[in-house]
C-alpha cells in the first residue's frame, strides 16, 4: 500500500513541477512582463506545496493508522464477562484471522466478527488515505498556483523554505535527545512508582523474577541494583587495566618512535581493530578467551566459571585499545615541538623527554581519552552479554560470573515485553542510570580535552 | 684519580639512561605488537572455527519412487504431484538404507538425516517426473550431528551419554564412509536459506537481506538529514546559543551507548508510534538516529574542506547564498559526504544491541522481502547462533562473522575508492 502511495506522490510532484513551469511562462506572456525569478523557482514553489502536505499526511497515516484501527476494534469488541483477556494477544489473534482467513477455523464468533470489522476498517482507511493524499496535493497545487504571477518573488520564498528544511534537519539531533530523555524518564517513573528509588540504588538484592516478600503482587522480586553496578565497575576496571597501558604505550610508540612507514602500516590495522563489530569480540571472548581464563583459573587453583568478568573485561580492553591509542596519539602530537626541543637541549634522551615532559604536558588530554574510554566500556553491550553472564554477583573476584547494566537491560527486554511489569520497566531505569553516567563522563572529558587544546593553541 | 672515578660514574649513568631509553621504546613496541597479535589471533579464531561451515555433508540415499507409495500416476498434474506422499517414500528409503534393520535401528538411522530430506526427495521428483516407478540414487543432506562428527568438530572419544550420536550410529557413519556413500560438498544452504532450528539447513540469506533493508533505511533517512544539518551548521547558522546547543547535542549524542538508542526505539517508535516490531523500518530508523552524529561530523569536515574562494566567486557574480552553497559548495563536498555516510553505515551494520531492543531477535525462518516485514539482521543472527547450545551453530556463527567482515571490508573499500577517486585536494 505505502509503496503505491509513494509512486502516487512522485507522479504528483512531477506533474506539479511541469504545471508550475508552464503556468508561469503562460502568465508572464499574458501580462507581457518578465517574471521576477526564473521559471524553475515557480515550479519548485508549486512542487513544495504539493509535496510537503502530502508527506505529512503520508507519515501521519503510516504512524497512526494501525493504532487507531486497533483501538476502534478493541473498543467495539464484545467481551464475554468473566473471561480474562490479554489485549496484545487479542489484537494479534484478530489480525491473524483478518489477514489469513484460514486461521478462522475454531475461533470464537467474537474474534471472527472483530476480524471482519478490522479488515473493513483497514479498507476504509486505505481508500480515505489515497483520496486524502490526492486531495491534499491538489489543494496544495491550487494554493500555490494562485501565486504564480510574474511579480511574485518565487526565489526568495523558496530560499526561505530551504532554510526551514535545513533548520529542521539540524534539530533532529535535539529531538533525538529529547526523545531519549523523555522515554527513559517516563518509563523509569513508572518503574519507581512500584519500586522505591532507594531500594533500586542501595539495596544489594537483584532478583527480578521471584516474589520474595509475602503478599507482594505489584512488584515481583527485589530490585537492588548494587550488584549490577558493581559488576559493571569490575568489568570496566579489567578492561581499562588491559586497554590503558597497551593503548597509551602504543600511542607513545607510534607518535614518538615509529618511522613513517610503520605508522602507515599500523594505523590502518588498528582501525580494523576499531571497526570490528562488538558481537565479533563477543564471539571471540566466548569461544577463545573464556575457556582459556577458565583453564588458567583452574591451574592456579581458582574455580573460574565458564563466563567471567575477566574474559569479558579483557576482550573489551582489546576493543578499546584503538580508541585510546588514536585519541592519545592526537593528544601527544599536539604537544608543541618546542617542549621536546627544550628537553633535548638540556641533554635528556627520548624516554626521559616523554616521561618527564610530554606525558605531564599531555596529561589532561590523556585523562580525557581515558574517561571517554571508560564511558565506552560501561555502555558496551554485546561482549558482556555473551561473555560475562547474567548472575547478579556482588563480588570483587574477576574469575566469577558478574552481570552489567547493559546485560540486565537486554535480559529484561528479550522475550515478552509487558509494560505493566516492573521487570520490563527496570530496563528503562537502568538505561537512565547508564545514560546519565555516560553523559556525565563525556561532558567532563570533552571539557578537559577542549581546555587542553586551548592551552597549546 | 678523582677525575677517572667521576668519568666512570658518568659513563655508567649514561649507559643506564640509554638502557632505560631502549627499554621504554621496547615497551611501546611490545604493546603495539600485542595489539596486532590479538587482531591476528582473532581473525585466525574466526577463520579456523568458521571455514567448515561452507561445506555440508551429503549422504547417498536410494529412493524408490513407487507410484503406489506416492499415490501418484505417471500422468498426474503438477498440483497432484505437489501433494504426493513423499514422506512415505522417504520412510521406505530409510528402512532399506542398510540391509536387515530392526525397528529400533531404523529410528537411529533416521536421525542421521536432515529434516530437509523430504523436501529434497520431493524437489528431485518435481524436477524429473519421469523417474516415477524407478529407483534413484540421490545425494541428500545429512543431519548436523553427522556433519559435525565428520568435520571433526565433535569428538567421538567422549562417553556415549555425552555424545549426540551413540555407538551404533557411529558404526553406521563409519560404514557409510567406508562405502563412499557420504561426502562433503559446498554448502549452498548457508547462502540461500534463512535461520532454522536445524543447523544443517540454517543460512544467512534471511539475515543478510534483513541487514540490507536496514542499511537501506539508514541511508534514506540519515544521508539527506545529515547533509541538511551539516550545510545549515556550516554555512547558514548564526552564531548563537541555539546553534551552540545543537553542536553540543551532536557531540554528546555521538557518545551515547547504542543500547540507549535501542531503548529510544522501543519507548518511542514502538510504544508511542506503534510501528511494526522486528522490522527493518524500525531498526533502520534507530540506527539512523544513532549514526547521524558520525555522518554529520564527517559531512561538516568535507564542507569545511571546500575553499571559501569558490563560494565567494559565486557570490561575486551575483548568486544568492543559497545558490552559492547548493550549486557550488555542496556538489564539491559530495564525495566526502558520501565517504562519511558509508563509514557511518559500516558502523550501523555491526550494531547489535539496539536491534535486540526493538525485537529483531525474533526467530524468523524466511527471507524478508520488504521494509515492514519482520526480519533478522546479520549481527543479531550471529548473536543467536553464538548463544545456541547446538554444536552445529558454532561454525555457522563464525562463518556469518566472515560474511559480515567481508561486507564491512567491501564498504570500507568503496569509501576509500570514492575518497581517492573523487576527492579533490585544494
Locate A109 and state its grid cell: 464468533
Identify all chain A residues contacting B357, using CB atoms and an 8 Å cutoff: 409-410, 413
Q: Where are the domains positioned within chain B?
A: 2-51, 54-192, 205-422
Identify all chain B residues contacting A382, using CB atoms and an 8 Å cutoff: 352-353, 379, 383
Q: Which domain holds residue A85?
A: 2-151
Taking residues B267-286, report their average pLDDT: 86
Do B337 and B298 meet the contact criterion of CB atoms below 8 Å apart? yes
pLDDT for B69 equals 83
Picking from A129, A151, A173, the residue at the C-terminal end of a domain is: A151
A49 occurs within a structural domain: yes
CA atoms lying within 13 Å on the CB side of residue B52: 20
Identify all chain B residues contacting A413, using CB atoms and an 8 Å cutoff: 266, 356-357
> Is B101 in CB contact (< 8 Å) with chain A?
no
- Residue A291: which CATH number? 1.10.3720.10
A286 and A145, same structural domain? no
Chain B residue with Cα closest to A59: B273
Locate B293 and state its grid cell: 552524529
pLDDT for A217 equals 52
Residues in chain A, total: 457
Q: Quick one: DSSP state of residue B306?
A: S
A228 and A145, same structural domain? no
B228 contacts A169? CB cut-off 8 A:
yes
Predicted ipTM of the assembly: 0.91
Interface of B with A in 173-212 (CB under 8 A): none
A385 and A238, same structural domain? yes
A249 and A117, same structural domain? no
Taking residues A162-180, report their average pLDDT: 93
pLDDT for A112 equals 81
| Residue range B77-122, pLDDT digits in tens | 777 887 788 888 888 888 888 887 888 888 888 888 998 888 888 8
Chain A residue with Cα closest to B221: A169
Contacts (Cβ under 8 Å, ≥6 apart) of B150:
B57, B142, B173, B177, B182, B184
- The CA distance from B85 to B88, in Å, is 6
DSSP run (H or E) holding B171: helix B167-178
Query: How many separate domains does chain A show?
Result: 2
A402 and A256, same structural domain? yes
A434 contacts B260? CB cut-off 8 A:
yes
Do B402 and B48 meet the contact criterion of CB atoms below 8 Å apart? no
A433 occurs within a structural domain: yes
| Residue range A39-53, pLDDT digits in tens | 888 988 999 999 999
B34 contacts A246? CB cut-off 8 A:
yes
pLDDT at residue A275 is higher than 80: yes
Taking residues A151-166, report their average pLDDT: 91
Identify all chain B residues contacting A377, using CB atoms and an 8 Å cutoff: none
A180 occurs within a structural domain: no
A424 occurs within a structural domain: yes
A205 occurs within a structural domain: no
| Residue range B185-212, pLDDT digits in tens | 999 999 998 898 899 899 999 999 999 9
A336 and A226, same structural domain? yes
A264 and A400, same structural domain? yes
Question: B27, B28, B378, B398: best mutation site toward chain A, by most A Cβ within 10 Å?
Answer: B28
pLDDT at residue A211 is higher than 60: no
Cα B414–Cα B418–Cα B420 angle in degrees, nearest 5: 115
Residue B308: is it exposed, middle or buried by C-beta count within 10 angstroms (0-12/13-18/19+)?
exposed
Picking from A151, A178, A209, the residue at the C-terminal end of a domain is: A151
CATH superfamily, with its number, for domain B205-422: MetI-like (1.10.3720.10)
Do B212 and B203 meet the contact criterion of CB atoms below 8 Å apart? no
- The CA distance from A30 to A152, in Å, is 15
pLDDT for A196 equals 86
Identify all chain A residues contacting B246, using CB atoms and an 8 Å cutoff: 170-171, 173-174
pLDDT averaged over every residue in chain B: 89
A141 and A241, same structural domain? no
A238 and A106, same structural domain? no
A325 contacts B35? CB cut-off 8 A:
yes
Query: A97: pLDDT confidence band, cut at 50, 70 and 90?
Result: confident
A197 occurs within a structural domain: no
pLDDT for A30 equals 87
| Residue range B306-359, pLDDT digits in tens | 999 999 999 999 999 999 999 999 999 988 899 889 999 999 999 999 999 988
> Is B267 in CB contact (< 8 Å) with chain A?
yes
Identify all chain A residues contacting B260, using CB atoms and an 8 Å cutoff: 180, 184, 379, 431, 434-435, 438
- The CA distance from A118 to A376, in Å, is 46
> Residue B253 is nearest to which of A173, A246, A269, comparing CB atoms?
A173
pLDDT for A247 equals 95
| Residue range A368-411, pLDDT digits in tens | 999 999 999 999 999 999 988 777 888 888 888 889 999 999 98
Greater confidence (B4 vs B289) lies with B289
Amino acid at each position: 500500500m505505502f509503496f503505491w502511495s509513494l509512486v502516487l506522490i512522485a507522479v504528483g510532484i512531477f506533474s506539479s513541477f511541469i504545471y508550475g513551469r508552464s503556468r508561469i511562462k503562460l502568465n508572464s506572456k499574458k501580462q507581457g512582463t518578465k517574471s521576477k525569478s526564473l521559471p524553475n523557482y515557480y515550479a519548485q514553489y508549486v512542487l513544495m506545496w504539493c509535496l510537503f502536505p502530502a508527506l505529512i499526511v503520508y507519515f501521519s497515516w503510516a504512524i497512526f493508522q494501525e493504532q487507531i484501527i486497533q483501538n476502534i476494534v478493541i473498543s467495539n469488541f464484545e467481551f464475554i464477562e468473566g473471561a480474562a483477556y490479554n489485549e496484545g494477544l487479542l489484537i494479534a489473534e484478530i489480525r491473524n484471522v483478518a489477514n489469513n482467513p484460514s486461521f478462522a477455523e475454531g475461533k470464537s464468533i467474537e474474534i471472527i466478527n472483530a476480524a471482519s470489522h478490522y479488515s473493513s476498517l483497514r479498507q476504509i482507511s486505505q481508500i480515505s488515505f489515497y483520496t486524502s493524499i490526492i486531495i491534499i496535493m491538489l489543494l496544495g497545487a491550487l494554493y500555490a498556483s494562485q501565486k504564480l504571477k510574474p511579480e511574485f518573488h518565487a526565489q526568495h520564498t523558496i530560499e526561505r523554505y530551504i532554510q526551514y528544511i535545513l533548520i529542521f534537519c539540524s534539530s533532529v539531533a535535539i529531538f533525538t535527545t529529547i526523545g531519549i530523555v523523555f522515554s527513559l524518564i517516563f518509563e523509569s517513573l513508572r518503574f519507581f512508582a512500584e519500586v522505591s528509588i532507594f531500594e533500586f540504588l542501595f539495596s544489594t538484592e537483584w532478583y527480578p523474577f521471584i516474589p520474595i516478600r509475602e503478599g507482594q503482587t505489584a512488584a515481583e522480586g527485589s530490585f537492588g541494583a548494587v550488584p549490577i553496578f558493581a559488576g559493571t565497575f569490575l568489568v570496566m576496571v579489567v578492561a581499562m587495566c588491559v586497554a590503558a597501558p597497551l593503548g597509551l604505550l602504543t600511542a607513545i610508540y607510534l607518535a614518538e618512535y615509529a618511522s613513517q612507514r610503520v605508522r602507515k602500516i599500523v594505523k590502518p590495522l588498528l582501525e580494523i581493530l576499531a571497526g570490528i563489530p562488538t558481537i565479533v569480540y563477543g564471539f571471540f571472548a566466548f569461544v577463545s578467551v573464556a575457556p582459556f581464563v577458565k583453564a588458567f583459573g583452574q591451574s592456579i587453583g581458582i574455580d573460574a566459571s565458564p563466563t567471567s568478568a575477566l574474559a569479558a573485561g579483557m576482550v573489551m580492553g582489546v576493543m578499546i585499545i584503538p580508541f585510546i591509542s588514536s585519541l592519545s596519539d592526537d593528544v601527544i602530537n599536539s604537544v608543541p615541538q618546542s617542549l621536546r626541543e627544550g628537553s633535548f637541549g638540556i641533554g635528556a634522551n627520548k624516554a626521559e623527554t616523554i616521561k618527564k615532559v610530554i606525558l605531564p604536558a599531555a596529561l589532561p588530554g590523556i585523562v580525557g581519552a581515558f574517561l571517554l574510554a571508560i564511558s565506552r566500556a560501561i555502555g558496551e553491550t554485546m561482549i558482556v552479554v555473551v561473555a560475562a553472564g547474567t548472575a547478579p554477583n556482588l563480588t570483587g573476584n574477576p574469575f566469577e560470573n558478574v552481570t552489567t547494566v547493559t546485560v540486565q537491560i537486554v535480559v529484561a527486554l528479550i522475550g515478552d515485553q509487558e509494560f505493566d511489569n516492573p521487570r520490563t520497566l527496570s530496563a528503562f531505569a537502568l538505561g537512565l542510570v547508564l545514560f546519565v553516567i555516560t553523559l556525565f563522563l563525556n561532558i567532563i572529558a570533552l571539557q578537559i580535552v577542549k581546555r587542553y587544546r586551548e592551552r597549546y593553541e | 684519580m678523582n677525575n677517572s672515578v667521576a668519568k666512570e660514574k658518568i659513563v655508567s649513568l649514561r649507559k643506564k639512561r640509554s638502557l632505560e631509553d631502549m627499554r621504554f621504546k621496547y615497551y611501546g613496541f611490545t604493546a603495539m605488537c600485542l595489539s596486532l597479535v590479538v587482531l591476528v589471533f582473532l581473525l585466525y579464531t574466526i577463520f579456523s572455527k568458521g571455514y567448515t561451515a561452507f561445506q555440508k555433508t551429503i549422504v547417498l540415499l536410494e529412493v524408490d519412487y513407487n507410484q503406489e507409495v506416492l499415490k501418484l500416476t505417471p500422468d498426474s498434474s503438477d498440483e497432484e504431484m505437489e501433494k504426493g506422499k513423499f514422506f512415505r517414500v522417504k520412510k521406505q528409503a530409510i528402512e532399506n538404507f542398510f540391509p536387515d534393520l530392526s525397528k529400533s535401528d531404523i529410528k537411529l538411522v533416521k536421525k542421521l538425516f536432515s529434516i530437509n530430506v523430504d523436501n529434497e526427495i520431493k524437489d528431485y521428483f518435481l524436477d524429473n517426473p519421469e523417474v516415477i516407478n524407478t529407483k534413484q540414487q540421490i545425494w541428500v543432506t545429512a543431519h548436523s550431528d553427522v556433519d559435525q562428527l565428520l568435520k571433526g568438530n565433535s569428538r567421538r572419544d567422549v562417553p556415549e551419554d555425552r555424545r549426540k550420536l551413540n555407538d551404533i550410529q557411529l558404526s553406521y557413519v563409519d560404514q557409510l564412509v567406508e562405502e563412499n556413500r557420504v561426502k562433503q560438498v559446498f554448502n549452498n544452504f548457508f547462502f540461500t536459506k534463512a535461520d532454522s532450528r536445524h543447523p544443517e539447513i540454517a543460512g544467512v540469506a534471511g539475515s543478510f537481506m534483513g541487514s540490507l533493508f536496514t542499511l537501506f533505511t539508514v541511508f534514506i533517512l540519515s544521508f539527506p538529514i545529515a547533509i541538511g544539518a551539516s550545510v545549515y551548521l556550516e554555512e547558514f547558522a548564526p552564531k548563537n546559543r541555539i546553534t551552540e546547543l545543537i553542536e553540543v547535542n551532536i557531540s554528546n549524542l555521538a557518545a551515547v551507548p547504542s543500547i540507549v538508542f535501542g531503548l529510544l526505539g522501543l519507548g518511542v517508535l514502538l510504544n508511542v508510534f506503534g510501528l511494526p516490531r522486528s522490522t527493518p523500518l524500525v531498526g533502520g530508523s534507530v540506527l539512523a538516529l544513532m549514526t547521524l552524529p558520525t555522518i554529520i561530523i564527517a559531512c561538516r569536515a568535507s564542507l569545511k574542506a571546500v575553499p571559501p574562494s569558490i563560494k565567494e566567486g559565486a557570490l561575486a557574480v551575483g548568486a544568492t547564498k543559497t545558490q552559492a552553497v547548493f550549486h557550488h559548495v555542496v556538489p564539491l563536498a559530495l564525495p566526502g559526504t558520501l565517504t562519511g555516510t558509508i563509514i557511518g553505515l559500516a558502523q550501523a551494520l555491526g550494531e547489535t544491541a539496539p536491534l535486540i531492543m526493538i525485537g529483531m531477535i525474533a526467530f524468523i525462518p524466511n527471507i524478508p522481502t520488504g521494509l515492514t516485514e519482520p526480519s533478522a539482521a546479520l549481527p543479531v543472527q550471529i548473536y543467536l547462533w553464538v548463544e545456541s547450545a547446538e554444536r552445529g551453530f558454532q561454525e555457522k556463527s563464525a562463518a556469518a562473522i566472515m560474511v559480515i567482515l567481508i561486507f564491512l571490508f567491501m564498504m570500507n573499500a568503496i569509501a576509500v575508492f570514492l575518497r581517492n577517486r573523487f576527492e579533490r585536494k585544494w
